Amino acid sequence: MAYCKKCGAYIPDGLTACLACGFDENLKAGETAAQTKSASDLLKEQLEEQRRARQEENRRWAEQEQERRRQQDQSRQWAQEEFARREAERQNAARNYTYRSTMNRAGTAQSTEGNKLFAALSYLSFLFVLPYILTPQDDFARYHAKQGLKLFIFTIVADTIGALTGFGWILTLLRFYFIYKGMSNAFSGIKEPLPYIGNMGS
């Protein structure tokens, strides 16, 4: 640690000339002004270098901060786009599900309405085969076709018993009742087994 012998000012380490008055005890009297100028220039250069270093450091920090914010913006934008895409997929799936459910209900209702005639005809003799041939995918028609098959078998058995015993007229009345009951259920859209014989063989 050194102090100027002329004015008493502090002289930084590494310098021999006083920054306040320019005195340098190592130089001759004629060289003092020139040395003072050199010391001042050196200090200015050091300060300028420090200023430039700080500016460069600030510039790099600003660039890094700008890059970080850009990446954050990209991540935020990607997240928003991904959320919008998934939300759109979810809404499309919900709409498709609703559409399919509506179409299935409408298709089932339409099929049932359109095949009530075939279901009713199933109770007339061998016409029970019509739903199996014309509407094999319609559960309502096939249900009444099965009931019609049971009525057809009952008719054969009733005719045989009637021919042997003489009570055929009773069985004939019962058969007409079954026909009426089955056709009424078919036209009303009801899946109900025939009395007595509807659940046989199920």
Q: SS3 helix, strand, coil % of the chain, rounded to 5?
A: 75, 0, 25
- Residue among 149, 143, 146 at smallest CA distance from 126: 149
Q: Which residues contact 128 (CB under 8 A, 6 or more apart)?
A: 122, 145, 146, 148, 149, 151, 152
pLDDT of 145 reads: 92
> Residue 3 pairs with which residues in a beta bridge?
10
Q: Which residues contact 183 (CB under 8 A, 6 or more apart)?
A: 120, 123
pLDDT of 123 reads: 92
pLDDT of 184 reads: 92
Convert the pLDDT of each residue in 32-70 to its tens digit.
555 555 667 777 888 888 899 999 999 999 999 999 999
Q: Pairing between strand 2-3 and 10-11?
A: antiparallel
> Residue 11 pairs with which residues in a beta bridge?
2
Instruction: Please state, in angstroms and rounded to a whole number, the distance separating the CA atoms of residues 115 and 131.
Output: 8
pLDDT of 107 over the 60 cut? no
3-state secondary structure of 55: helix
Q: Which residues contact 181 (CB under 8 A, 6 or more apart)?
A: 194, 195
> Residue 10 pairs with which residues in a beta bridge?
3
Q: With bands split at pLDDT 50, 70 and 90, how would you rate the model's confidence at 144?
A: very high
Convert the pLDDT of each residue in 145-187 to its tens digit.
999 999 999 999 888 888 888 777 888 899 999 999 999 999 8
DSSP assignments along 150-171, one per residue: HHHHHHHHHHHHHHHHS-HHHH
Q: Which residue has the higher pLDDT, 200 or 57?
A: 57
Say if residues 167 and 161 touch (Cβ distance below 8 Å): yes
